Amino acid sequence: MEKKVDAKIAMETRAVHSADRKRGPGAIPVTTPIFTAASYIYEDVAQLDRVFAREEPGESYQRYSNPTNRALEELLADLDSGAGALATSSGMSALQAAIHVGLADRNRSIVAAESLYGATVHILMDIFEPQGVSVHFVDFCDRAKLCQAIDRHKPGVLVMETVSNPLLRVADLDEVA
């Protein structure tokens, strides 16, 4: 289901109010509630099984779904006019998920910036390469070298940081795109 964004509603207003309140009877909270529960109790174990199996809507376990995370995902999707969003527990898990999705139906090759966070290099070299993904590092601030690497390796994914860690290098994102 494609969500239409009302262009008349300012981004600032959407940033404050999108996805932050459940509509329904009774009072509406002024701010997004924070749910800290790791698991949820149901009177009927069969119902919990159906929720776990996603045969029925509801909460079951923090790792699978949480109203606070869902509100964040809905907010980000709305602000970016996207079909959806995924909030992860860390930046590294977000990066790994994005690369897996990016390579799902593309050439299993990555061109990555030379200047990257150490854990990013670890994921590329120690997780993706052993899975048969070729990884090639290049200076993303040198357009000629970047273009040569892209032409040569035909990557399914490009990996860069908009401000690299730790060297604070900044490649021209529009140019790279």
Rounded mean pLDDT of the chain?
Answer: 87
Determine the residue type at 108. R
The residues, any chain, with a CB within 8 Å of residue 148's CB and separated by 6 or more, are 138
Q: What is the DSSP letter of 61?
A: B
pTM of the model: 0.71
pLDDT at 128 over 50: yes
> Over the stretch 18-68, which tens digit does the pLDDT of each residue have?
765 555 556 667 777 888 888 888 989 999 999 989 899 888 888 777 888
> Over the stretch 108-127, which tens digit does the pLDDT of each residue have?
999 999 999 999 999 999 99
The CB density around residue 41, as the number of other CB atoms within 10 Å, is 6
Go through the domains of the chain in sequence order and give each one's CATH number: 11-79 (no CATH), 91-176 (3.40.640.10)
